[in-house]
Structure 1
Amino acid sequence: MTSSVSASSAEGGGGIPRLVFYVAIVFSVFQLVTSAFSPLSSTVVRAVHVGFLLLLTFLIHPWRGGAYAGTSVLGKAVGFGAFVLASYHWVFEAELVQRAGEMTDADMFVGIVTLVLVFEAARRIMGFALPLICLCFLGYAMFGEYFPGVLQHRGYGFDQIVGQLAFGAEGIYGTPIYVSSSYIFLFILFGAFLEQAGMIQLFTDFALGTVGHTKGGPAKVAVVSSGLMGTINGSGVANVVTTGQFTIPLMKKFGYRADFAGAVEATSSMGGQIMPPVMGAVAFIMAETINVPYVDIAKAAAIPAMLYFFTVVWMVHLEAGRAGLFGMPKEQCPDPWVALRKRWYLLLPLISLVYLLFAGFTPMFSGMVGLALTVVLIFGASFSRGLNGTALRMLFWIALGLACSAFVSLGIIAVIAVIATLAVLLAPRQDGRATLRLAVQALADGALHALPVGVACALVGVIIGSLTLTGGATTFAGYIIQVGESSLFMSLLLTMLTCLILGMGIPTIPNYIITSSIAAPALLDLGVPLIVSHMFVFYFGIMADLTPPVALAAFAAAPIAQESGLKIGVRAVQIAIAGFVVPYMAVYAPELMLQGDKGLMATAYVVFKALLAVTLWGTAVVGYFHTPMNLVERVLAFAAASLLVVALPISDEAGFALAAAVLGWHVWRSRRLAPLRS
């Protein structure tokens, strides 16, 4: 999910005016200052964050929605008006706290208009689906007292609803927008700086050099590069439109069908949201929602993420074998170690980020340090190019590291400001200016990329606020629990279908927030571990972006692949089969997400079962292993994989026996037929 605009055109005389460019920079600077020094209360930061989101949205997106088409006078007026309304929370902060729950006429005006503008901003960016869903929940809060049976609530005044949604801590300024204004924005900005510095090129060259020459190499390049991009960019659609511009044409050039090429890129890119250490925005919201450290979320996601990407690589390998596709000539592939030597310093922010997260520091602090180090390294690389001699360069990097360590205690912004100023003053004039432009460009791009995520987080606060006020989540959760008392599998299936249906029209973040508010507590009451129940919802929110008829990631790949988004979605479901199976396995065997107390051997056993099941499913779907498989072999392979997944008595033993039989028979038959084919 990305903005449909880029700040890059702001300085180049493109469609976006300088006003948008400068507002985006101010937005990023505001977020950096408040994150580093916390000069304002959390309530004010959230309100101003929403104000900037609305301002940029109305400056960029026209009334009819879609991509930028020119800023009208009305758009400017509405945008700045929205920002002024957001400042109301800053100016009258003390009064609002003192009379909490007592709405004045001014409060009602500000609250109603702000809610309307949030709905309209979401419509302009994402279309009608999410606003209509949120409007249904708002309608339930307003008119639920007239509903029949268990859906009826006691009724609430309009002022109570507006106060809950526009001024409370569980409405549009609730947990999702708190996470957006603190964690998500920093990591989006972090990714924007790394992209501007050349991280995409590093990942692409490394992937080409390591797997480009293997069987199905071009498609494996897409998997590796998209997986690596997932460490700095948690948006699946953003990965599609960045790495896909290179990988999809490359796959088509080497013989892959257009629908398969698009599906590989879409599937790989969506996996970025579950790939630690920097997962998608949902992971940060999940950590806040269930009140567990982010590192615990990353640990739980690690094994399923590896299974997911193993599945994609395995499907690519089998498809290449079935179609007789080979890799690129070795001499045409770049040397991965040369690529690392040229841009090795770009890995340092990622390394520091991982270390800090796993050392127990907060995501906000870790993100700020990673971002600061990225800026320091960008300017440092520019400056060091002006020095002659290896010794001088080494002394420079040592001095830079010491300076960075000394300044961290004084504030991250001090590091950025001092190093940037020194670099611009001391570096060769042309290099210094170019690097400064790169940093400013990243500030603007980061703010624009944060728009759809932030607006979605604001709008889904309407759902959370309505459910909290009315207790509607309890009703649906009670129904799931009632079903689960007779069949846990049916409750899981119902939850999965809810996620997939919601995902047809809304992005992953609101999908997770809605279903986690309703279904995840019910799964927890049925005995599913806390993290596993939320991960179950999270995974199927991601799978919804790959599942036809409305598959956002598939349709993002469609224009690049020049193929139908529906066909790409169908192929993506086949490739991402593990994404549909692993969550069920984790519910019945929590060791897959490092939950429970059965120890390392139990985890290893479950992982082995999952790998074998994925291997068998791949051969059954593609119809190829060593050689093409006949129908009987495919059916038996699918049956063996299914037995390994279901949690029934002796199903594991039967699955292992059938897997050994079908694979052994296939290998024996392939070797017997080999002399005949030759």
Structure 2
Amino acid sequence: MAAEQELSKADALVAEVETGGRNLSGSTKNLIPIICFVWAIYQLYISSPLPAELTVSTGISFFQFIGNLSISRKIHLMFALVLACLAFPLYRGAPTKRIPLYDWVLIALGSLSILYMVVMDSNIANRAGDFAHENIRIDMTVAVIGMVALALSVYRSLGLPLVIVAAILMGYAYIGGGNWGGASFVKGTWHFWMQEEGVFGKPLAVSTQMIFLFVLFGSILEKAGAGGYFIKIAFALLGSFRGGPAKAAVIASALSGLYSGSSIANTVTTGTFTIPLMKRTGLSAEKAGAVEVASSTNGQLTPPVMGAAAFLIAEFTGVEYTTLLKHALIPAIVSYIALIYIVHLEACKLNLQGIPKPKDTIVRTLAQKMIGFLTGFLVLAFLFIAVYYTLGFIKEAYPGISMFSVIVISGIAYLVLAWFASKRPDLETDDPDAPMTVLPKAADTAWTGLYYILPIVILLWCILPTPDRLSPSTAAFFACLAMSFIALTQHIIKGAFRGNMDLASNFRKGLSEWVDGMIAGARNMISIGIATAAAGVIVGAISLTGAHAMVGELVEFLSGGVLIVMLLLVAVMSLILGMGLPTTANYLVVSSLMAPVIVALGAKSGLIVPLVAVHLFVFYFGILADDTPPVGLAAYAAAAISKGDPIKTGVQGFMYDIRTALLPFLFLFNTDLLLINVGPMKALFVFVVATIAMMLFASATQGWFFTRNRMWETVALLAIALTLFRPGLLLDRVSPPFDERPGVEALKLAEAAPDGGTLRVRLVGPDFDDIDENNSTFLELNLGASGDGETRFTQSGLNVLEDDGKVAVDGLTWDSKLKHLDKLFTMGDLDKPLFIEKVLVKRDRMPKEVFYIPALLLLGLIIFLQRRRHREDDPDAEAKAAAA
């Protein structure tokens, strides 16, 4: 009974934060589910080819009208506003079983303010900027009503912090300060509501086009039974190892993170089963909860969904979605492997054992277990690669029939896998308080749900980087159709194979699961839809005022211009800004305010990295707020299940996540970890080295390797890990990476650079804010095709000319990608020109990997000493480990 009460607390927290705590009764009981289902149907409709086809076949432009992106993002927000008023009580004591009158009023006003935008869409576009138009009073009235309705929806579904951040930036836009003089009420309000640079801007467009469908896909997958399947298969594979339930919890959360959009929901979904088992095997309540929190938080960093932020990162950085997944893959996998290793170290320190396997299972030594685990991992990797390249070959060799081929192959594979699944009992939800004395067989468990992988294969095929690939939204649409088909038919097909011909009953069961998935997916999107609209206000305010420059000045002042201190300040600020926010809103806030700071201040210090690395940096630290006290909501959810202290759970979870906090610093200085300009063989090498390095870092922070570390061993392990992660740091001390050449040689060096080469320069010139002050920054210019010096600079985005023995910058080209320079320098003043002070030319140096040799020799010494000490302390240790 107590366990059920604790679980209900966790579920209530998820509802309060994620989906809304209001459950209606009486005549309005089904109102929220019906609207959610209609919203899901609408989103599937606008993502399909149907609007265009219906317009052509019927001649009715209405079908095209509601599928138009400008209109659909407004309808998307209207659904979110209405459902926010229905599902989230306005204040703590508000009714939860009925809808109060003021919510009906807010629903009406919010809907009318958006319907006005829908009906007047073309009219508003045609008179954009005409603030003297006869309808301007109506426009402003509608805009104010809409902004107030949105603010209340943000408050009730996301809390006060996001309201405060947005309000401060809006106030700055109106009132002004510093170099921004402030906007008039009409201009500011038009910017935020009437055009697509505020509320209805890029974040909301991404939510409408992509995020909804991926969240819906994950929800249908979960309701169809995949969530329970992933938990069971994780326990079957890892439960027999030392601390097996904790290791299984990590894997289960990683698999759930593939489609989950929330670390809090992930914590409750998998933690309901894993946390009690971890406690029974010997972990304390706080450590059991912390393991689940750390693994669920990392799930938000795992491709392909990344808490629904992957699509926004791709949009804001200009990196293709599939390329972004490649960049994010190695850090996510390495982080999870290290967490499993941390759990193993905890199990060794506490001498924990695993759960016994079935009696007829062959007993294997520890080495055999590890070989079996690695073999399984390699087989899965091989199958993934085989599917990837096989489907890619079909797409390239037979483009005309590729879609038909995938449908036929997937259909056959589905029937075969469903037949295998029918030979085994369906998986049932276990009682988390019931003792698990014997693990299920891995093979039997695996066959019960392998067909859940097929929609993921279809999704992969659709977004493969081939000439005729589909957009992420269209790919998600077909994946949703495939998952819907499986949800509706799996019980019918398996029943038929088992001889159960009660088609009506099996269809009703499948229909119920599919409808529940559609409703849950839409309900999960309420806070995301509201968050992206609110983030549009933040992004709009920054684009209008350049407010991030103020944050940059503050960080630069506090850091004293020291690069590493600046990065630490940005990390801490990202943690603070991310507290209490769901993943999508979290990323939008931290990336809008903090990413430009790293770009601008990093360039001044000579740190020039791809924009995607900067956005992943702030995203990582924003997500870590979910387990960072005092607000860490995932820690509170885990503590509600474990009955532990939420603050201690959060602190322990953050200690486990130190390895994750290290990664962003590493991939800023070593972009190989993001597989940027890295080939397949080097990618494998980078993965292996990064995994070893992260495990050594985990051993150092946990104070345990083969046995308890001595102080010098901990220091040495940290030094070895850092060397493996960034050997270039030592190489830079021995041999500087660049030769400095005077700026006057810039044109000659640009002309001599190879086709498609780059040139790193340092620009110096009058500050944008104070012409008597000088500013400087480093740039890495992409020179493009071969040509003379001036042409290659033009291709890089700069117009240059020789002036008084210097190479001066005459301005930016019209299509330049260096627009941020406008905020750094005053251009066009030939009395105090912006000029190239020096050029940095890469030197030929020894391979940085040479420094792996002394690091590995030192590691060998530590292993030798620890193994000997371990045997001396416990002569039977190896036999015990083999028996475990």
TM-score scaled by structure 2? 0.68
Instruction: Establish whether residue 565 from structure 1 lines up as the match of residue 592 from structure 2.
Output: no
Report the AA paired with residue 185 of structure 1: F
The equivalences for 1:114-129 within 5 A come to 114-129=146-161
**Counterpart-to-counterpart distance in 2, 1:224 and 1:6:** 25
**Counterpart-to-counterpart distance in 2, 1:28 and 1:177:** 16
Q: 2:180 aligns with which of 153, 168, 183?
A: 153
**Counterpart-to-counterpart distance in 1, 2:105 and 2:36:** 17
Please, which moves more after superposition, 336-345 or 168-177?
Answer: 336-345
Instruction: Establish whether residue 471 from structure 1 lines up as the match of residue 546 from structure 2.
Output: yes
Quick check: 1:214–1:326 contact (8 Å CA) kept in 2?
yes
Match of 2:628? 547
| Closer/same/farther in 2, CA of residues 596 and 520 from structure 1, 3 Å limit | farther
**Counterpart-to-counterpart distance in 1, 2:439 and 2:27:** 37
The equivalences for 1:399-478 within 5 A come to 428-477=503-552
Quick check: 2:700–2:715 contact (8 Å CA) kept in 1?
yes
| Closer/same/farther in 2, CA of residues 7 and 501 from structure 1, 3 Å limit | closer
Superimposed CA distance per residue, residues 187-234 of structure 1 (whole angstroms, 9 cap, x where no aligned partner): 111111111110111101111110011111100111111111111213
Shift of 1:499: 0.7
**Counterpart-to-counterpart distance in 2, 1:437 and 1:607:** 43
| Closer/same/farther in 2, CA of residues 663 and 14 from structure 1, 3 Å limit | farther
Report the AA paired with residue 618 of structure 1: A
Match of 2:448? 342
Superimposed CA distance per residue, residues 122-142 of structure 1 (whole angstroms, 9 cap, x where no aligned partner): 111222111111111111111
Shift of 1:319: 0.3
Quick check: 2:707–2:870 contact (8 Å CA) kept in 1?
yes
Quick check: 1:193–1:375 contact (8 Å CA) kept in 2?
yes
Quick check: 1:58–1:75 contact (8 Å CA) kept in 2?
yes
| Closer/same/farther in 2, CA of residues 158 and 220 from structure 1, 3 Å limit | same
Match of 2:362? none
Match of 1:419? none
Quick check: 1:259–1:568 contact (8 Å CA) kept in 2?
yes
The answer for unaligned runs of 5 or more in structure 2 is 1-12, 52-63, 359-437, 734-850, 880-884
Instruction: Establish whether residue 74 from structure 1 lines up as the match of residue 102 from structure 2.
Output: yes
Match of 1:165? 192
Secondary structure of 1:289's partner?
helix
Q: 1:666 aligns with which of 854, 866, 878?
A: 866
Quick check: 2:326–2:675 contact (8 Å CA) kept in 1?
yes
Report the AA paired with residue 655 of structure 2: Q
**Counterpart-to-counterpart distance in 2, 1:48 and 1:617:** 49
Shift of 1:181: 1.2
Shift of 1:369: 0.6
**Counterpart-to-counterpart distance in 1, 2:560 and 2:708:** 44
**Counterpart-to-counterpart distance in 2, 1:523 and 1:143:** 27
Name the Cα RMSD after superposition. 2.8
The equivalences for 1:297-376 within 5 A come to 297-331=324-358, 332-359=438-465, 360-376=469-485
**Counterpart-to-counterpart distance in 1, 2:464 and 2:93:** 40
**Counterpart-to-counterpart distance in 1, 2:855 and 2:722:** 8
Secondary structure of 1:47's partner?
helix
Match of 2:201? 174
Quick check: 1:51–1:84 contact (8 Å CA) kept in 2?
no
Quick check: 2:23–2:96 contact (8 Å CA) kept in 1?
no
Superimposed CA distance per residue, residues 564-603 of structure 1 (whole angstroms, 9 cap, x where no aligned partner): 2211111112212221111111111111101136x55654
The answer for unaligned runs of 5 or more in structure 1 is 394-425
**Counterpart-to-counterpart distance in 2, 1:549 and 1:243:** 23
Match of 2:390? none
Shift of 1:240: 0.8
Match of 2:238? 211
Please, which moves more after superposition, 622-631 or 253-262?
Answer: 622-631
Match of 2:708? 628
Shift of 1:9: 10
Secondary structure of 2:319's partner?
coil
**Which of the pair has the greater relative contact order for Cα pairs under 8 Å at 6+ separation?**
1
Match of 1:533? 614
Secondary structure of 1:358's partner?
coil
Match of 2:821? none
Secondary structure of 2:644's partner?
coil
Q: 1:637 aligns with which of 700, 707, 717?
A: 717
Report the AA paired with residue 255 of structure 1: G
Superimposed CA distance per residue, residues 246-281 of structure 1 (whole angstroms, 9 cap, x where no aligned partner): 111111121111111111111111122222233321
Please, which moves more after superposition, 617-626 or 379-388?
Answer: 379-388
| Larger strand share, 1 or 2 | 2
Shift of 1:632: 4.1
| Closer/same/farther in 2, CA of residues 543 and 119 from structure 1, 3 Å limit | same
Shift of 1:14: 9.3
Quick check: 1:57–1:79 contact (8 Å CA) kept in 2?
no
Quick check: 2:261–2:307 contact (8 Å CA) kept in 1?
yes
**Counterpart-to-counterpart distance in 1, 2:236 and 2:26:** 36
Shift of 1:427: 7.0
Quick check: 2:21–2:88 contact (8 Å CA) kept in 1?
no
**Counterpart-to-counterpart distance in 2, 1:30 and 1:65:** 32
**Counterpart-to-counterpart distance in 1, 2:629 and 2:22:** 34
TM-score scaled by structure 1? 0.88
Report the AA paired with residue 60 of structure 1: A
Instruction: Establish whether residue 384 from structure 1 lines up as the match of residue 501 from structure 2.
Output: no
Please, which moves more after superposition, 274-283 or 563-572?
Answer: 274-283
Shift of 1:29: 1.4
Match of 2:667? 586
**Counterpart-to-counterpart distance in 2, 1:15 and 1:602:** 63
Quick check: 2:720–2:856 contact (8 Å CA) kept in 1?
yes
**Counterpart-to-counterpart distance in 1, 2:96 and 2:23:** 13
Match of 1:20? 32
Quick check: 1:240–1:265 contact (8 Å CA) kept in 2?
yes
Quick check: 1:134–1:459 contact (8 Å CA) kept in 2?
yes
Shift of 1:441: 1.8
Match of 2:783? none
Superimposed CA distance per residue, residues 510-556 of structure 1 (whole angstroms, 9 cap, x where no aligned partner): 33223323432443452111221111111111122222232122122
Match of 1:490? 565
